[in-house]
Structure formats: C-alpha cells, structure tokens
Amino acid sequence: MSGRLVHIGSAVVDYVYRIDALPAPGSEKTASSFAQVAGGGFNMMVAASRTGMTVVFGGQLGSGPNGDFLRAAFAREGIETVTPPSPVMDSGNCVAMISSDAERTFVSWPGAESILSLDMMAPVVVSSGDWVFTSGYTLSYPGSRDTLTDWSEALPANIPFVFDPTPIIADIPRPILARVLARTTWLSCNTTEAAEIAGQGDVETLAVRLLADHCPMAHGVVIRAGAKGCFLRLASGETRSIAGFKVDAIDTNGAGDTHIGAFVSALSRGVLPFEAARYANAAAALSVTRHGGSSAPTDSEIQTFLSQAGAPSQHQKAHQTA
C-alpha cells in the first residue's frame, strides 16, 4: 500500500518567458510566449500525485495573490495544504527564461516559503507508511533552515526521508547540510550537486563517497544526468547505470523534480529501486516533451511509454563495485 508524500519544501509562482536566446547584458528581448504557473516544489508533488501517491504539503504558503494562486493549483491536483497561510507575507516567485535549446535560466524572489517555525509546522503529523521530502531551497533560507533541520532529525526512524540538494546547494551552511544528509534515506541529486558534496571524481566514486561519508543511514543515492539517465548505488554496494530515453525535448524545466516525484512514488508502491529509477527516467523524458515545469505524466502514460521502449539495454545491467 502506497503511503503519503509529506512535502516540506517551497512552492512559488513561476513567471515563464520563452525566448530564442538569453539577452546580452543591458539589452532586451521580446518573449514568444508568457505563462504564470505554480512552480518550485509543486512540480515534484505533481509528479508523485499523478503517479498514484497521496500528497500533502507541509511547507508555508503566503496570504496574498501568489499564495491564492498556489492554493488553487494545489486544489486542482488534489494536494492538501496542512499548514495555515502566513499572515504577514505572500508566497515568492521565480522568473524562468526558457531558450530555444530547451535550457532554462532562473531569477527568484523568496516569500512566505522562506520562513518556518516549529509552531507553524505543528499541524504536520507524519504517520507510519508516509514518506517525507525536502529540498535544498528550504534549507538555504536563514528563516527556515534551522527549524526544518530540527524537525527532520526528530522524525521517527521508520519514516523514509528523501532529500534533493538542488542547484543552490552552495548556499546551505555545511553543518546544516551534514545534519540533513545524516538523516537522509534516499538522496537524489545531479552530478554537479554530488561533486559539491563529495568532491571531484567519476560518478561511481561520488556515489561511494556520498553513502560512506555523508549519508550513512541511506538506502541509496541517485545521481541524475539529464538525458543520459541516472546512476543508482544502493547501500548494499550494488550499482547500476540506468539509461535515459531519446526524446525531442522542448522544455527541461521541472525534469529533475518529475524524476524525484516519480521515483519516490514508485518506491512507495514497493517497486524495486532499479526499476523505480527506470520508471523515473521515463517520467522525466515524457515531461521534457511538454511545456511547463509541472508537466509530469500519469502512471498510465509512463507504463505505455515503457512498453513501447522495450526491455533495458545491456549497459543497464547491474554490476558490483567495491
């Protein structure tokens, strides 16, 4: 039986501009399109929800127009918000510029999601079978990092805790990062973030260091590599490179969030880790063929995609490493 995903992260409003290329400093571009969408942690929650997991949000939303916009988006996806809105701040926003090569550039402004206290989080009750997720964004904010770290460390030992350090990992104080990693059950990061934590090296070396030196209680670590797929190492020492899927990408915004949400959702249903990683690769591949950060596919769409893709190739087979 799949448990709930309890997401303690940050959701913001994305203002998305599509342009042919980033403007040169001091110049101006006219976008080909514009959209206002729910973003940030919302993308990961949508991926988990659309693949069958019950999702609740235990972070903070604001009391202004951005917060109202996010609450409406949550309601459409069936995601419950368990904490009351901030009485003094609106939710933050992020300007996302998507260029013609499907890459994205962000400028963000934090709001209510950057402030957490234990009193605010009192309504967040975690039960057996639940999964808890947080990201580096919430840990980067001075007004939320200490509360979230204390709360995470106090979780019952049988509650899986999933952590994504995100691109702003350098803004997380190392003592805070170390404490959160020590409680992490599953770490999902990209290759740059893995190197920020564990130093330089190839992906296998980084995975070994992450588990041995930083995440001693983890069941495994996933190192995402975009279109190339991901690398997964389990605490047992078993490793596997899971190849990505060739698709025509039009928007990579939210692909990492989709990968994590689909991976956790699959694990919560009892799918084995390597199979869950391939499932997550498929979800991320489908998401980049659609516009918008919250473009995660449904479980049915992923299953159809995988059935058409066929069996995994030879280089995806498991191998042991020291």
- Which secondary structure element, helix H or strand E, spans residue 320, and what is its range? strand 319-320
pLDDT at 146 over 50: yes
Token pair 């995470």: residue: 152
Predicted pLDDT at 98? 86
pLDDT confidence bin for 316, thresholds 50/70/90: very low
d(CA 206, CA 200): 7
Predicted pLDDT at 272? 98
Q: What is the DSSP string of 286-315?
A: HHTTSSSTT-PPPHHHHHHHHHHH-SPPGG
Please state whether beta strands 33-40 and 11-18 pair in parallel, antiparallel, or not at all (unpaired). Answer: antiparallel
Mean of the per-residue pLDDT values of the chain? 93
pLDDT at 87 over 80: yes
Q: Which two tokens stand for residue 246?
A: 């060739």
Share of the chain above pLDDT 70, in %: 95
- Which secondary structure element, helix H or strand E, spans residue 75, and what is its range? helix 65-76
pLDDT at 125 over 90: yes
Predicted pLDDT at 289? 93
pLDDT at 319 over 60: no
pLDDT at 114 over 50: yes
Predicted pLDDT at 1? 42
Lowest mean pLDDT among 27-31, 137-141, 285-289, 308-312: 308-312
pLDDT confidence bin for 137, thresholds 50/70/90: very high
Close Cβ partners of 91 (under 8 Å, ≥ 6 residues apart): 11, 12, 13, 61, 62, 64, 66, 67, 69, 70, 111, 112, 113
Count of C-beta atoms within a 10 Å radius of residue 124: 17
Q: Residue type for 164, please? A: D
pLDDT at 160 over 50: yes
Give all strands of the β-sheet with 229-234 in edge-to-edge order.
80-81, 54-57, 4-7, 131-135, 161-164, 186-190, 220-224, 229-234, 238-243, 319-320
Is the pTM of the predicted complex or chain greater than 0.95? no
The CATH architecture of the domain made up of 4-22+34-317 is 3-Layer(aba) Sandwich (3.40)
Predicted pLDDT at 312? 64
d(CA 90, CA 85): 9
Query: Could you read off the pLDDT of 251-304 as tens digits, one per residue?
Result: 787 899 999 999 999 999 999 999 999 999 999 999 999 987 678 999 999 999
Secondary structure (3-state) at 240:
strand
Predicted pLDDT at 3? 82
pLDDT at 315 over 50: no
d(CA 65, CA 26): 31
Of 182 and 322, the structure prediction assigns the larger pLDDT to 182
- Describe the crossing of helices 65-76 and 42-50 by its angle, rounded to 10 degrees: 10
Question: Percent helix, strand and coil across the chain, each rounded to 5?
Answer: 35, 20, 40
d(CA 148, CA 167): 19
d(CA 189, CA 82): 27
DSSP 219: S
Query: Could you read off the pLDDT of 194-237 as tens digits, one per residue?
Result: 999 999 999 999 999 999 999 999 999 999 999 999 999 999 99
Predicted pLDDT at 311? 64
